[in-house]
Amino acid sequence: MTTEVDFYELLEVERTADEATLKSAYRKLAIRYHPDKNAGCKDHETKFKAINEAYDCLKDPQKRAAYDRFGHAAYTKGMGGAGGFHGGGQDFGGFSDIFESVFGEFMGGRGGQRQQRRGADLRYDMEIDLEDAFHGKQTEITIDVSAPCDGCDGSGATPGTQAKTCGQCNGHGKVRAQQGFFMVERTCPACHGQGEVIQDPCTRCRGDGRIDKTKTLSINVPPGVDDGTRIRLSGEGEAGQRGAPAGDLYIFLHVAKHALFEREGTTLHARAPISFTTAALGGEIEIPDPSGTRHTIRIAPGTQSGREVRQRGAGMPVLQGRGRGDLVVHIEVEMPSRLTARQRELLEEFRATETGEECPEATGFFAKLKQALG
């Protein structure tokens, strides 16, 4: 089982995005995550590489067409020694094979080979909360999917009988016809590319070799997954026709919004309002992470609103790696909206002792304002 993030989601664009939109999105993200701007941050370096890989695929019309049909299976193996393509259940020697599979039967084809109709890939959207993404999760899902017919073992023929070689294409699955100067090769209309014709079809599946079933699958969500992470279950998609390989099932994860935290990669951000006395005198506050562990955040005397306090190693786990990201606490100083008489009296006494040095920024601002007004 592998975890993969969709290229379109990586670039934060719709699947219908045109070339200009792709380029604009790529440039914006490349600037944000460039290693020169994020020295030493492994998360940003990994993200930068993933963004480049996604754009390298989607900017090429042929690669993009293959990716749209086969997903990551079309972009992970052996194209001229530099990437290439493979699909669960079927291997391709190079990009020309993918191109042929995507753009139809008029590109030369593989004459003499029957077409095996691999089952369709399926998509399942699963929502999890941040705690599940933090700890990981073992769960089960139930899907309706076509599976090999148990009445004929997926052959499509009545038990005890066999399919016959197609007389129109002689078992090749394709027929050729002359059109002007060109020889055009098409899928055989009699056997639909199978090369065989079932004369006595199975009564249960009516010769298709597949029936609809409800299937329960166990899903292992690893710690550290993020919104848009994709889990591939090889061979758990639609069954192939008449014994052909099954497709894959893709689980798309969606992490629900959290009441306390916002996530950026492995970094967690939390907003923490503190009293003005704590900001002035200093102190400590406690912030729990998604596991429930409490982290003590020290507030330095004179802390201003907007200050960020970083707690190393208190963020999200690294997906399929070691360690954790950071927790960044954004401090917001809250002014009291109601005061007792005694509190007001103490603050009046404090104001009477102010010299202007307590708040140098405010003193400097009003001095410049007075000068500007003459």
Q: Residues comprising the binding site? A: 149, 152, 166, 169, 188, 191, 202, 205
Give the Cβ contact number of residue 204 at 10 Å. Answer: 13
Closest CA to 115 of 66, 167, 186: 186
For 123: left if phi > 0, alpha if psi spans -120 to 50, otherwise beta; the answer is beta
For the record, the structure tokens of 103 come out as 């753009």
Strand partners, 29: none
CB 133 within 8 A of CB 185: no
CB-based burial, 128-156: b 16+ in 10 Å, e otherwise: bebebbbeebeeeeeeebbbbbebbebbb
Strand partners, 253: 126
The distance of Cα 218 from the centroid of its chain, to the nearest Å, equals 20
CB 280 within 8 A of CB 301: yes
Distance CA 235, CA 230 (A): 15
Q: Which residues are annotated as a binding site for Zn(2+)?
A: 149, 152, 166, 169, 188, 191, 202, 205
Distance CA 288, CA 362 (A): 35
Closest CA to 99 of 108, 89, 88: 108
